[in-house]
Every structure is written in C-alpha cells, then in structure tokens.
Amino acid sequence: MFEILEKTLLTALGAASLTQKKTEELACELRQRFNLSEEEGKKLVTSVQEAVKQRQQDLQDAARDEVRQAAERLGLVPRSELEALEQRVRQLEEQLGQN
C-alpha cells in the first residue's frame, strides 16, 4: 500500500518542486488519512524529496543539452574553443612580430 501511495503522490507531483514544509504537511496528511506510522511518513518524505531532486536534475540536464544543440545548429562555438583560438592568434602575432 505504501508503494501505491508513493507512486500516486509522485505522479501527482510531476516535475513540480515541493518545499520541505509542504512535503512534510502532505506526508502528515497522508499519514493520518492512510494510517501510516511515523517511520513510514518520514520514509515517504525522504523518498519524495529525492525524487523531486532527481527530476529537477533531469530537467536541468535536458535544458542544458537542448541549449547546447541549439547553439550548434546556429553555428555558435563554445567559449573554450573561442579562447583557444584567441590564444593561438596572440601566439601567431608574437611570432610575426619577432621576424
């Protein structure tokens, strides 16, 4: 039964972020409604918080990948590549100045 509650809660949450207080309030309500023990309630809070953090990280990773792909489609180069080219140009300018 605990797993069903957890899955239902996570499904309802989607990718939404919950604050610590809101998560604890929700867990307290579920504990009362479904007669969960204190330990099960804490486990539920921890589980939900971990799932939310993972979903947030997944969304950040997906957004980062999408931005990177969009930049590539537009022909933009990474800053590190630009800085390497600038350094190379400086080196070549110094070499030309010495001759």
Phi, psi of 35 (to 5 degrees): 55, 50
CA distance 24 to 45: 6
pLDDT in tens, 42-80: 787 788 778 878 888 888 888 888 888 888 888 888 899
Comparison of pLDDT for 24 and 96, the residue scoring more: 96
* Longest CA span, the chain: 85
pLDDT value for 4: 60
- N residues, the chain: 99
Q: Is the pTM of this model over 0.85?
A: no
Q: pLDDT band for position 1 (50/70/90)?
A: very low
pLDDT value for 96: 93
CA distance 51 to 45: 10
Asked whether 51 and 10 are in contact (CB, 8 A), the reply is yes
